[in-house]
Amino acid sequence: MKTTKPHVALLASPGMGHVIPVLELGKRLVVYHEFQVTIFVVATDAATVESQLRNLPNPNLFNVVSLPPVDISGVVDPAASIVTKIIVMMRESLPALRSAISAMSLRPTALIVDLFGSEAMVIADELKMLKYVFIASNAWFLSATTYFPTIDKQLEEEHINQQKPLMIPGCKPVPFEDTLEAFLDPKDQVYVEYLRLGLEIPKADGVLINTWEDLETATLAAMRDTTSLGRVTKVPVYPIGPLVRQVTPPALEDSVLGWLDKQPTESVIYVSFGSGGTLSSKQMIELAWGLEQSQQRFVWVVRPPMDNDASGTFFEVGNGSDGTPNYLPDGFLTRNSEKGLVVQKWAPQAELLAHPSMGGFLSHCGWNSTMESILNGVPMIAWPLYAEQKMNATMLTEELGVAVRSKELPTTERIVEREEIETMVRRIIVDKEGHGMRSRVKKLKHSAEKATSIVGSSYDSLSKVAKDCEIGLLSHMSKALG
């Protein structure tokens, strides 16, 4: 047991896709490196954060501090993108974060902020702390984000107007169809914010990424290549993933898990669009019919449709006489009572994906969902909606060969029709093609497990960061002693 453990502060931005991996990172710093950890959350949905905290094997592992809610109504256009709103929320939370850290009797040695909290690194500078950015996504996304500010007007014109791929030195180009919404409109606030992020991230002492060496070997090599003229980032990168919440047996009997227990091995398709993804009303109807027509078993986490915002918030709607929500086809629950389950809004995803009867995941390809699917050896139907999800879908289908994807790029205007959904489900669950994907995803699962084991590359990467924090602590202590 060490006598003096470094204290590290982590800052998570709103949204379970950010909070969950930050909690997991905090847990690893405590369990593997015996650090003291304080996690600051800028929560919009305290109830969901608390439910995640309850899921931790030991909720007292670290200190979780909820920063006071901020009112951004006067500082951001109500029509701004969700990313802009998150960034502004993080900005408005800085004074509370500064006061909270300054008031700590044991001052943290390092501040680890997630992508949208990168402005908080000034606080680390003021308080003489090490500063790291944590990317809850992959290295390819990081390369695009940090390279973006360096592209000149001509490349911008080629990417935005001529729709040519974004060429990143040493990395896969980002096809126009997959590009981030943030890169497309120089007049939008989110574009300006992304330029700033791209410039700010390389000022960190290091960037921790939720990926692993063997998953993105070439991209990581390009990011470290000091000889490359267009080197995409001049900051040490630490692939420390996959960070995925470890599942714990539910304290109470869970009806969905109970139902899964009765289904054959690898026979069920799980359908979910992350913590906030929504479909249009027409698309919900097609998806319902596609699942039904596939005649395969399914668990579908539904939330009310939104007709013009794929990252929408939720509104309440009524139910039909058999309990079918009225945005699904009449009698859907009755007709599918043997084969499928519909869960409203939120399900214990990590636990469900870990169940042996899971055979596929129709997913919006959020990076946490992607990691959870890989770590459970579950092939995917890629259905990206927003953010870097289209890049993730391309990686899964074209590079890793563990997912199928619709020919249509679903948008609020273009829908994927029921026949194609039926075919995609059968390709994953029934067809030989699905077996091939399952065996490839199982190989990735083993590679991921090896990376995070104590002899693995991700463990080693996090150990290097931990070592730097320990050296930082020693230097603080020696300065304090004069």
Q: In the complex, which residues of this chain contact ligand UDP (CB under 6 A)?
A: 15-17, 20, 272, 274-277, 301, 346-350, 366-369, 372
79's enclosing H/E stretch is none
Residue number with CB closer to ligand UDP (49 or 168):
49
Q: For ligand UDP, give the closer residue by CB, 302 or 437.
A: 302
Positive or negative torsion for Cα 243, 351, 51, 90: positive
* Least spacing, CB of residue 325 vs ligand UDP, in Å: 15
Q: Which lies closer to ligand UDP via its Cβ, residue 130 or residue 197?
A: 197
Give the residue closest to ligand UDP by C-beta. 17
Minimum CB distance to ligand UDP, residue 280 (Å): 17
Residue 454: burial class (beta carbons within 10 Å; 0-12, 13-18, 19+): exposed
Q: Is 152 tagged catalytic?
A: no
Instruction: Give the separation between CA 325 and CA 305, rounded to whole angstroms.
Output: 11
What angle do helix axes 367-375 and 16-33 make, rounded to 10 degrees? 50
What is the three-class DSSP state of 380?
strand
Q: How far is the CB of 48 from ligand UDP (least distance, A)?
A: 9
- Decide if 114 is catalytic: yes
Tokens 């309440």, located at residue: 316
Among residues 15 and 305, whose Cβ is nearest to ligand UDP? 15
| Per annotation, catalytic residue among 33, 45, 77, 114 | 114
Residue whose CB is less far from ligand UDP, 448 or 473? 448
Residue placing its CB nearer to ligand UDP in the complex, 117 or 348:
348
Q: How far is the CB of 385 from ligand UDP (least distance, A)?
A: 8
Q: Residue 8: phi, psi to the nearest 5? A: -120, 135
Around Cβ 436, how many Cβ atoms within 10 Å?
Answer: 13
Between CA 299 and CA 159 the distance in angstroms is 39
What's the closest the beta carbon of residue 367 comes to ligand UDP, in angstroms? 5
**Nearby residues of 166 by Cβ (< 8 Å), 6 or more positions away:** 144, 147, 148, 151, 155, 159, 173, 174, 176, 179, 183
- Closest approach of ligand UDP to the CB of residue 364, in Å: 6
CB 424 within 8 A of CB 381: yes
List, by residue number, the catalytic residues.
18, 114
